Structure 1
Amino acid sequence: MKKVITFTLLVLLVCGLGLYFGKLASSPENQIVKVEEKQNPQIVEIEKEKEEIITTTASISAIGDILIHDRVYEPAQIGDEKYDFTPHLKNVQSLLNNADITIANQESMIGGTEIGLSTYPSFNSPYEVGDILKESGIDLVTIANNHTLDRGEKAIQSAISHWNKLGIPYTGAFLSEEDKKNIRTIEKNGIVFSFLAYTYGTNGIETPKGKPYLVNRIDEKNIKQEIEQANAISDVVVVSLHFGKEYERLPNEEQKQLAIKTANAGADIIIGHHPHVLQPMEWIEREDGKRSFVAYSLGNFFTGQTEDYKDIGGVLKLNVEKKLETGEIVLKEPSFVPTFVNEVYHVQPLEQLSGKEKLYEEIKKHMNQWVPELTFSFT
């Protein structure tokens, strides 16, 4: 009997303790304690990471002068007024397709065979030059240079007609004033790039009266105004300047001063052409606290010119980062892959050429002398 009473008391005691601790656990005070225990340091750190500014990145590449002499296009003829330039660029197509956007300076107008092909000093190139650029990944061409007016308005109209057919935007020369006012933009990964181009002159050929839109000339006031317009519709302004002196391997003071003024007007990236040889790159610290990147000359990319560094060009690449919350733009990780035009005018990466090791090292030293962080491969 005592055993039964003892067992009953034990059961009642256990049940009573269970009810007591159950109520204690369900009390508001203890609920708060449990919530507070869940807010451990790891969870707090995750919440902080969510609050950080999110960024997006796009890459842009640029190449130098494409100037097609008769010694380039004549061997490329494959039929009656038909040309094939595929062999000339096949070895660098992977480089040209490496970035989100790739732009080129098409120095000779691609007016086509209908108006007659021609070489130095008055150039007109086959349509197929544009075709191979399209095939190789070029997204936009600049056509403001000293050869823009070589064959007159008809060549410009014919060239632009073909660029339109290919779906490749152009800038620097236009069909009309309305065409000129339409600033070219390309959007990649939520970043909008705009493109402008200007030349120092046109080899003494005057622009037809009343048609200034046929070629953009370097005019500081006009450049500043158009950069302001471009900044209003884009995140990054890219300006191509056809300037400097031919075959000089360092920029002159006039180039440097114009680059500084262009940067302070709001240009983020400045691409130089015309010297036909490589000139170094540089960061420009702007008056607004930002910085711009300038490549004073990207040399010749695809051309009939050889020797004395005229057969060396390359592909410049920059990564552009945008902070989505603030819209702030940061240029970073500049890289450059030197290229070489061989005796049959095929373009190849300089690093891959046997016997050119010393030249390759010289070019690297030449190009990064003002930008030590410049690298020489694409990742």
Structure 2
Amino acid sequence: MEEKDLKYKMKVWTKKHKKKAPFHSMVLAALLAVPFFGHQWIDKPDMPEDTRPDDVDFRISMVGDMMLGRHVRDAAVRSGEPIGRVFDYVTPYFEQSDYVTGNFENPVIDAEDPEVESVMEDFELRNKDIHLYADKGAEEALVDAGFDSVNLANNHIMDYGNLSLEETLEHMEKVDLDLLGIGRALDPAEGMFEEEETLTDAGEIHYFDANGRNVAILGFTDVFVQGYSASEYVGGVLTNAGLGVLQSRIREAKQQADVVMVHTHWGDEYQVGSNDTQETLAYLMTDMGADVIIGHHSHVLEPITRVHIEKDPDDPESEDKTSIVMNSLGNFVFDQGWSRTKDSTLAQLDFLQDGGAELSFIPMQISDTRPRETDGILKPFRDYRIFRTLRKELDDELWRMEDGRLVIDLKKAGVIEG
């Protein structure tokens, strides 16, 4: 009897479920779609209108790794939009900045040229595993977005050897963009090159005026493949093989500038924390005169650190030296899928009208290869994860939260005096 009752109940339940099955399937499909398409439904970003407070006298925006090839290119093709689409949601921040810089992680190559294409195919067969490049036109996208300089001293800019160097310089020297850490030589002898070759030195210091403050910026990489290093007679990038040149250039910049900034490509990929080499190099650059170190390479955010070197009590001419080190700003435009590689930030160095200086961090999330400020119902979780990583090694008195940003008082930190 009980068995018949059970069978009867099962038939009734099945009959009812068949009537509701389409509705249940729709609900289940919607729930399953959230992880894949949720950013389009619950994270629809609003374009910021006013991103700059009235008390900011000069603003420098800094970002991490940018790669405009591979699946980033594919996403642009699928959308029917130009490659510059990747900057759509961050252009307002750049427009309200006075200077914008970042790490450009690939060469610019005209791959449609048959001769170039054949060289690329041959190089991929006999060299490193991963070869990145962006199509010709990427340099214009950077300028249109508002970039003033890009660091090219990294481990992918010469993925196709000398072809990478020549193609990248050919295309990028045609636009109004300072190229950091790359050149046709390193510390070349006078008269070594023809006069029309304007970019000759991979260790060149670039200067810009920040409303009365002279700021110096240069680029360097500790991560590279054999054959990448520039030398007196060979083009390439500034690597730790030219560490002596880096030291002398930072010293030179410190004598000429009020603030010295160094793009540094270093660290271990996907590791949320600096290694011993980073700490050693940060100390060395601080001792030479670096004030702000802009780190990248690991593809994830890393903690910000403060390096302080006390003056030598036996040397009356010595003085304290302090720098702020952004060990890694993470990815900014990339196609990697792990959640940590999609956490990003836009760093902004503000010189204030009252003479102070602050370094602030806007939480960003990469979606469909494009960075944008975190938004939607997941914003609190994402912001907490981003800010917890960035401030992990900072003393509590050096940072504060203000208007959804992590803010560091550089005057209080002893990095930049008013």
Q: What is the aligned-residue identity percentage?
A: 23
Confirm whether residue 349 of structure 1 aligns to residue 383 of structure 2. no
3-state secondary structure, aligned to 1:74? helix
| Residue among 195, 200, 224 paired with 1:202 | 224
Contact 2:260–2:290, Cα closer than 8 Å, also in 1: yes
Note the C-alpha offset of 1:69: 4.0
Per the normalisation by structure 1, the TM-score is: 0.75
Confirm whether residue 175 of structure 1 aligns to residue 184 of structure 2. yes
Note the C-alpha offset of 1:332: 2.6
Q: How does 1:115-194 map to 2 (within 5 A)?
A: 115-116=116-117, 121-176=130-185, 177=188, 179-180=200-201, 182-194=204-216
Q: State how far apart, in whole Å, the 1-side matches of 2:231 and 2:358 are.
A: 45
Q: How does 1:266-305 map to 2 (within 5 A)?
A: 266-287=289-310, 288-305=319-336
Q: State how far apart, in whole Å, the 2-side matches of 1:209 and 1:368 are.
A: 38
Amino acid paired to 1:189:
N
Distance 1:184 1:370, change over 3 A: same
Listed one character per residue, the Cα deviations across residues 231-263 of structure 1 (whole Å, up to 9, x for unaligned) are 233221111111110000011122112111111
Which of the pair has more CA radius of gyration?
1
Note the C-alpha offset of 1:378: 9.3
Note the C-alpha offset of 1:78: 8.6
Distance 1:227 1:362, change over 3 A: same
Q: State how far apart, in whole Å, the 2-side matches of 1:209 and 1:293 are.
A: 29
Distance 1:92 1:322, change over 3 A: closer
Contact 2:161–2:228, Cα closer than 8 Å, also in 1: no
Distance 1:182 1:86, change over 3 A: closer
Aligned match of 2:416: none
Confirm whether residue 252 of structure 1 aligns to residue 275 of structure 2. yes
Amino acid paired to 2:370:
H
Note the C-alpha offset of 1:103: 0.5
Q: State how far apart, in whole Å, the 1-side matches of 2:295 and 2:58 are.
A: 21
Q: How does 1:1-379 map to 2 (within 5 A)?
A: 57-77=57-77, 84-113=82-111, 114=113, 115-116=116-117, 121-176=130-185, 177=188, 179-180=200-201, 182-205=204-227, 207=229, 211-218=233-240, 219-287=242-310, 288-320=319-351, 332-342=357-367, 344-350=368-374, 352-371=375-394, 372=396, 373=399, 375=401, 376-377=404-405
Distance 1:70 1:308, change over 3 A: same
Note the C-alpha offset of 1:96: 2.5
Note the C-alpha offset of 1:294: 0.8
Note the C-alpha offset of 1:377: 3.4
Distance 1:355 1:146, change over 3 A: same
Amino acid paired to 2:330:
G
Q: State how far apart, in whole Å, the 1-side matches of 2:99 and 2:356 are.
A: 15
Q: State how far apart, in whole Å, the 2-side matches of 1:201 and 1:370 are.
A: 24
Unaligned runs of 5+ in 1: 1-55, 324-329
Q: State how far apart, in whole Å, the 2-side matches of 1:316 and 1:153 are.
A: 33
Q: State how far apart, in whole Å, the 2-side matches of 1:235 and 1:289 are.
A: 15
Q: State how far apart, in whole Å, the 2-side matches of 1:174 and 1:86 are.
A: 26
Amino acid paired to 1:95:
Y
Amino acid paired to 1:316:
A
Distance 1:174 1:374, change over 3 A: farther
Q: State how far apart, in whole Å, the 1-side matches of 2:64 and 2:252 are.
A: 26
Equivalences, count: 315
Contact 1:78–1:84, Cα closer than 8 Å, also in 2: no
Which stretch shifts more, 285-294 or 308-317?
Answer: 285-294
Per the normalisation by structure 2, the TM-score is: 0.68
Distance 1:267 1:331, change over 3 A: farther
Distance 1:97 1:294, change over 3 A: farther
CA RMSD of aligned residues (A): 3.0
Q: State how far apart, in whole Å, the 1-side matches of 2:72 and 2:348 are.
A: 27
Distance 1:367 1:234, change over 3 A: same
Distance 1:322 1:282, change over 3 A: farther
Distance 1:198 1:132, change over 3 A: same
Unaligned runs of 5+ in 2: 1-55, 189-198, 311-318, 408-418
Distance 1:127 1:83, change over 3 A: farther
3-state secondary structure, aligned to 2:384? helix
